[in-house]
Structure 1
Amino acid sequence: MTDSPGSQRHDARINGIANTETSMSARGLSTRTLPDICFELQAKVDAFLSAATDDDALRKVQNQVRVSMDVIREALRRYGPDHLSLSYNGGKDCLVLLVLILACLPGWTSQPPPPDHWDLGITTSERNRSSTAATSSRPLQAIYIVSQHPFPEVEDFVAKSAETYHLDLKRYALPMRPALEAYLEDRPAVKAIFLGTRRTDPHGEFLTHFDPTDDGWPRFMRVHPVIDWHYVEIWAFIRHLQIPFCELYNRGFTSLGGVTDTRPNPALAVGGDNSKFRPAYELKDDDEERLGRD
């Protein structure tokens, strides 16, 4: 995947990642097999977790990663890869989640079946058929619910990153509920969906790591591995691991919706000039993240 140039900074970063031959895109990640990518991401995450640091903020990110990976492994134990999917729209939160899921796959092994109340209709034979002892070569299932007026940059990044990470991505230009209904009709084996929702997102305040859908919605388990991450922690992880991201974040966008309801975050305006904005990763306050959304 090719990085789109943004504003260059003193640390020689382009598009928020180091402009070096060690970046994932520079190594031609998109030309590699899915197991190779999973093992590489696992190594990068393991190195991040094992790095000694005196930085309290970085230690908090390390702890967040450990908690999230435990949730992902529990979801794999409960459902198996064949019954799991990812809600993916190219945004920063689901991008972090995607990387963590892929990093968990090499170490995943089949586990004893969980209590019946977690099954959501999965039989023992279905789980056994989906169990693997190592990284699956099958792509991770994913759903992309398209904004009514999508940014071309978002559409482009979703397509390129889905190719890079070998996602089995289904695209629906529908409102959320009918999109989910259509997806579960197309993918009836899916019993749980990973979501990049965080506590400060709308309707995120009372969510837990595992929440069944509400009455009247298509029935599946919502899995929220990054629910307790803060905004600065999301960006610290992305930049520390040099993960390519959508170029709109370089232009001051901090929360991506559609063309008609999203604009650069005014908290990142340079010198009060509403035509120049600092990149999204320079925002510090969770409460200011959605100031660019109507």
Structure 2
Amino acid sequence: MANPDSLRSRFGKPDADRVYQLAHSPTPTQLSLQIKHALEIIELAIVRFGVDGLSISFNGGKDSTVLVHLFAAALYRNSSIPTSSEPEPNLKISGLYIRCQSPFAEVDEFVNHCQTIYNIDLMTVDNSLKNGLGAFLAERPSIKAILIGTRATDPNGGSLTDFDPTDSDWPSIIRVHPILDWGYSHVWEFLQKLEVDWCKLYNSGSAFHSLKHFQIDL
């Protein structure tokens, strides 16, 4: 089990290599195929929008934690860094955290922890989804697309595709859904197999049900 307080200090090239090794396993599993497909979507987004035009919606939930780990791996694989295990400025991830009302303190602590792990330049907004996204794009006009950890089984997730524009009455951006076809079991298998830190509230039975559908939908 990953320990968000002590296990990981910084995502580096060895972590990225481990993700890609699992994705291209000589004996493919359902998880390895899911990882491979997710990485292909992220890599396509990098090609289409560029690193500077791509961001992530991150809220500390299990799905967005999987997604930021995949995104960081793809950035390393598509960078020119040959051996370094430390992030460089061009690998900084642009992120949006729309904080829910009365968030658990542990969630904010974990989000801050992940900012360090993944080198996220995170804009935190206490506002509605629509207004928060608008404020984010106004401050970062180079952003053209945002990675979101929505899965098909989430509310409103069944009609989504890998790349979807926002509705006409929303701030204009392309929503990218790399883990849309992942199941609940894939998420937890990924976190455990790759020893990814997750919010410790998931380990608490009393808080689990509050976090079960912890997802930002744009």
Q: TM-score, normalised by structure 1?
A: 0.65
Q: How far does residue 49 in structure 1 lie from its aligned partner after superposition?
A: 3.0
Paired residue type of 1:101 = F
Matches within 5 A, 1:42-191: 42-51=16-25, 59-108=29-78, 133=80, 137-138=89-90, 139-191=92-144
Paired residue type of 2:56 = L
CA contact (8 A) 2:24 2:36 kept: no
Q: How far does residue 64 in structure 1 lie from its aligned partner after superposition?
A: 0.3
CA contact (8 A) 1:146 1:174 kept: yes
Q: How far does residue 221 in structure 1 lie from its aligned partner after superposition?
A: 0.3
Q: How far does residue 39 in structure 1 lie from its aligned partner after superposition?
A: 1.2
5+ residue gaps, structure 2? 82-86, 214-218
Match of 1:221 in 2: 174
* Structure 2 residue matching 1:249: 3-state secondary structure: helix
Is residue 29 of structure 1 aligned with residue 9 of structure 2?
yes
Match of 2:14 in 1: 40
* Structure 1 residue matching 2:180: 3-state secondary structure: coil
| Distance verdict in 2 for CA 1:201–1:187, change over 3 Å | same
| Distance verdict in 2 for CA 1:51–1:160, change over 3 Å | same
Greater helix content:
2
Greater Rg over alpha carbons, structure: 1
| Distance verdict in 2 for CA 1:51–1:77, change over 3 Å | closer
Q: Give per-residue Cα distances to partners, 1:167-216, cap 9 Å, x unaligned.
A: 00000000101001111111111000000000011111110000000110
Q: Which ranges of 4 or more aligned residues in structure 1 deviate by more than 6 Å?
A: none
Q: Give per-residue Cα distances to partners, 1:232-272, cap 9 Å, x unaligned.
A: 0000000000111101100137xxxxxxxxx5339xxxxxx
Q: Give per-residue Cα distances to partners, 1:107-137, cap 9 Å, x unaligned.
A: 32xxxxxxxxxxxxxxxxxxxxxxx655863
* Structure 2 residue matching 1:73: 3-state secondary structure: helix
Match of 1:284 in 2: none
Match of 1:271 in 2: none
Match of 2:208 in 1: 264
Instruction: Please give the alpha-carbon distance, in whole angstroms, between the structure 1 residues aligned to 2:80 and 2:21.
Output: 23
* Structure 1 residue matching 2:89: 3-state secondary structure: coil
Paired residue type of 2:21 = A
